[in-house]
Structures are given as structure tokens and as C-alpha cells.
Amino acid sequence: MMDWVKLEDQVRPLNKGQRLIIRDDVYDFNELQGVLELASRRKLKPIILDTGLFGLNELTILSRFHFAFYSGDLARPDFLQLAAITEILNKNNCPVYFFLEEGTQAEALDSKLASGLESVFVSSRLKNWEISQLSRLAEETLAGGTTLVYYHHGQPEESLAEWPKKNCWRPLSIRFFEEINQPVILEILKNIKKTKAHLIIHLDMPASFDYINSLSEGGAHMIFNFGPIEARSRLSRLESLWNKKKLPEKAFFLYQDFMA
């Protein structure tokens, strides 16, 4: 029997408009429906992290509640099933975000499938992606009207600016390069801006104001992840400016300050 008091206790601390992130294997199906119903009443923004537990029939029932659906090729390796799921969820205004983590079926992600996705995420944390693969994904997602986010873990190279289209976001951490790389980064920024793509720089370690400001003025979106910063300094004012500029949800995987 569903414990409504327990479920209400879990959503009570959240305010209207806040996100409620739920793994689909934490609750049984009836409890998950209950959580989504409570989230709807409180006007929260529920997010379901998909582990592949529920099939099309269950997701069809759940789709009467508005939620964002975060899945990936580990949970949904069958892209025909994924296409059916995205069709049902899209009809009920439930956006679908997809992480190409394992990546062996990346070639099967075409513009038609991409058109049902809000964003496609890829990362070089565990897998090396060829430029040709990224270029094809950029073209297919652009044709499908969706966003491609590529988390690059490693030294920045000029080839990073060769393939992105205007629908691409490129998170990069400053911990992978030093100030001596400034000319390379600024050149990448200049070339990325020509395609109207976007570069996000995660400031995961301290750096000088002049260096950070040059990247900011070069057109990168800056995310400050280090501190403390001296109050009322030029750097603190720059941090305050960027903290007010929130990224669209389609540009990051769940948390904007995390390099997926």
C-alpha cells in the first residue's frame, strides 16, 4: 500500500518551480505515479532518470504527468523502442534528453530520431570520439532541430572548432589547460563563434583575472566552480555577473556545474 505521508514528506521541502530528480528504480510503479501526482500539485519540475525499468505501456500511463525524461544508450540500447517512447512522451509535452554513453550505436542516431530529443549528450570521459563521429552527430542533430552537447575531457585542440554547428554546446574544464594555452583557446573561441556554436568553460581551479576575463570577452560562457574569491575584487564582480547568466537546460546534463 502506498504511504502518501512518506511521499508528501519527500516533496514538501521543495518550492514551486524547483526540480525533483527521481530515479525510476527507487519507487515501484504506483509510488512513482504518486510522486508525480504530488509534484504536479505543487507545480514542481520532476525529472525521471531512466534505467530502462519501465516499458512503453507504463511510460504511456506516466506521461499524463509533465516530467523531463533523461535516458541513454545503456538504459535504452534499442533505438526503435526509444523512437516509440519519445513519440509518446513528446505528445504529452515531456521532453526527452539522451546520453550517448556507450556509443556503439551512435551511427543509428539520425535526424529523424534526434527530432524527438531535446538534447543529445556525449562525453570523452570514458570514450574517445572521432572527429568524424562528432561531425556526423552535429549534422544529424542540427537537421533534427535538437541540441548536441559534447563534454571534452582533455587538452583543447584546434580540431574542437572544426565540426560544431550552431546547435552545439562544448563544455571544457580549465583544469585541462594552463594560461600558456590562452592563444589556442582564444583561437578556438573565435572559430566556434563563426559557426554560432557555444563554448562553456568550467573554472574548476583558480586562475588570474586577466586570463579568465580574456576567455569571457572571447565569448565563452563561464561557470565558476572555485572559491573563495576576494570580496569586491574585479574577479568577484565577474563571478557575480556570470552567476546571473543561467544556461538553458538543454545545454547541460542535469547540473550545469558538473562535467559529465
Specify the pLDDT at position 4: 67
Final residue of a domain: which of 99, 122, 151? 99
The reply to whether 31 and 119 lie within a common domain is: no
Query: Measured in whole angstroms, how far is the alpha carbon of residue 199 from the centre of its chain?
Result: 14
pLDDT of residue 2: 58
For residue 156, the enclosing domain spans 109-254
113 and 94 in a common domain: no
Q: What is the model's pTM?
A: 0.94
Q: Is residue 2 part of a domain?
A: no
**67 and 175, same structural domain?**
no
- What CATH number should be reported for the domain holding residue 67? 3.40.50
Domains: count for the chain: 2
Within-domain flag for 3: no
Specify the pLDDT at position 113.
Answer: 97
Q: What is the pLDDT of residue 156?
A: 86
Rounded mean pLDDT for each run of 10 residues along the chain, 260 residues in total: 69 89 92 92 95 96 96 96 97 97 93 98 94 96 98 88 93 90 90 94 94 95 93 95 95 95
Here the cell at position 126 is: 570514458
